[in-house]
Amino acid sequence: MLALKFKILLLVLLVVAVATTGWGSVILLREEISLRISESLDFQLKEIIMHGNTRVKQETLVEALSLERGAAMLPINLFEAKARLESLEWVKSASLRRILPGTIEGHIHEQEPFAFWQKGGRLFLINSDGDAFLDLGLADSPDVEGMKSVKTTLPYLVGAGALESGVEFVEALENYPAIKEKTKAAVRVGRRRWDLHLDNGVRVQMPEKSFHQALVRLRQLHLEYDIFRRDVQIIDLRINDRIGFALREGAVMPEISEAVVLPNAIGIIPLRPKARRDG
């Protein structure tokens, strides 16, 4: 009821102000009225409550709000305070509300790290929208607020065009956890296709198109032929009807126990299927 009376009073005074002095003094009058009412009713900021922050410290949020305790409640510009919160790197969106007589309550939605992106020797964190929101600089383990909760297993995207196409590719990798787990970095080649750099040094050359089908073939090579444990340096999947291999220096391809032809392929893969475990 008090809030309604205040709005009616404010509206009447604004009409009078416009009629007598024009729009130029309306904002000043509104602020003056808000201040006087806050003082007369003891509406002073006493508490700031924030919800939703797991990576950003409470004191960081309060500092960003830049609101002094004891300040008059009604003149506080919540839109400007919200903008200050959303200027923080880890804050994707924020909302604020005024709870009289003396509380400001806020809810924030934090950024969710999706992948690392390397550009020009610098490292960034990106979200699932493909937006780079945190510059990690040149350090391998930077002391940046919020980084302790970031998974070190996030994929690395490298190369020109990697940011624009990286989200779709990483989302495709999510369907192949064994491959994603071994992928150390995905490097964009000529803005056209991807190379996967695995944690054991193997490089997988992906095709320009149909990389979903290429991932299916790679999973089959892993499950049936244990390809990641072979003396292979490069797996070439750029051509749909054949698979190429480059051996490590000094390695010898094992003898062929049987000729294996993958579905929809005409090339013979000279690999023995790995032994199947019983049960």
Structure tokens at 275: 């032994």
Residues 205 and 258 in one domain: yes
Instruction: Reply yes or no on whether the pLDDT at 232 is more than 70.
Output: yes
Domain finish residue from 55, 89, 110: 110
Mean pLDDT of the region 48-72? 92
pLDDT of the residue at 247: 77
Residues 92 and 184 in one domain: no
Whole-prediction pTM:
0.72
Mean pLDDT of the region 199-211? 91
Residue 263: pLDDT band (50, 70, 90) is very low
6-10, 115-119, 237-241, 257-261: segment of lowest average pLDDT: 257-261
Structure tokens at 48: 């700031």
> Does 42 fall in a domain?
yes
Residues 28 and 87 in one domain: yes
Find where tokens 């004891």 sit: 70
Residues 162 and 104 in one domain: no
Structure tokens at 80: 């400007």
pLDDT of the residue at 197: 95
Between 264 and 196, the higher pLDDT residue: 196
Q: What are phi and psi of 164, to 5 degrees?
A: -70, -35
Residues 93 and 187 in one domain: no
Cα 44 to the chain's mean position, in Å?
38
Cα 74 to the chain's mean position, in Å?
36
pLDDT of the residue at 255: 42
Between 254 and 113, the higher pLDDT residue: 113
Residues 167 and 259 in one domain: yes
Mean pLDDT of the region 269-275? 48
Whole-angstrom Cα distance, residue 111 to residue 91? 6
> Does 278 fall in a domain?
no
Instruction: Reply yes or no on whether the pLDDT at 219 is more than 80.
Output: yes
Instruction: Reply yes or no on whether the pLDDT at 44 is more than 80.
Output: yes
Instruction: Reply yes or no on whether the pLDDT at 79 is more than 80.
Output: yes
> Does 127 fall in a domain?
no
> Does 234 fall in a domain?
yes
Mean pLDDT of the region 18-34? 51
Per-residue pLDDT tens over the stretch 179-191: 999 999 999 999 8
Spatial CB neighbours of 253, under 8 Å, sequence gap ≥ 6: 245, 247, 270
Looking up residue 205, the CATH number of its domain turns out to be 3.40.50
Residues 159 and 104 in one domain: no
> Does 94 fall in a domain?
yes
Structure tokens at 244: 């190429």
Per-residue pLDDT tens over the stretch 81-98: 999 999 999 999 999 999
Q: What are phi and psi of 43, to 5 degrees?
A: -85, 90
> Does 53 fall in a domain?
yes
28-37, 65-74, 118-127, 262-271: segment of lowest average pLDDT: 262-271
Domain finish residue from 56, 88, 110: 110
Looking up residue 36, the CATH number of its domain turns out to be 3.10.20.310
> Does 17 fall in a domain?
yes
- % residues pLDDT > 90 (the chain): 40
> Does 58 fall in a domain?
yes
Residues 164 and 243 in one domain: yes
Domain finish residue from 88, 110, 132: 110
Helix (H/G/I), strand (E/B), else coil: 75 = coil
Residues 104 and 162 in one domain: no
| Total tally of structural domains belonging to the chain | 2
- Please check whether residue 138 is in contact with residue 82, taking contact to mean a CB–CB distance below 8 angstroms: no
Domain that holds residue 33: 2-110
Residues 263 and 176 in one domain: yes
Residues 264 and 163 in one domain: yes
- Please check whether residue 170 is in contact with residue 115, taking contact to mean a CB–CB distance below 8 angstroms: yes
- Please check whether residue 159 is in contact with residue 188, taking contact to mean a CB–CB distance below 8 angstroms: yes
Instruction: Reply yes or no on whether the pLDDT at 254 is more than 60.
Output: no
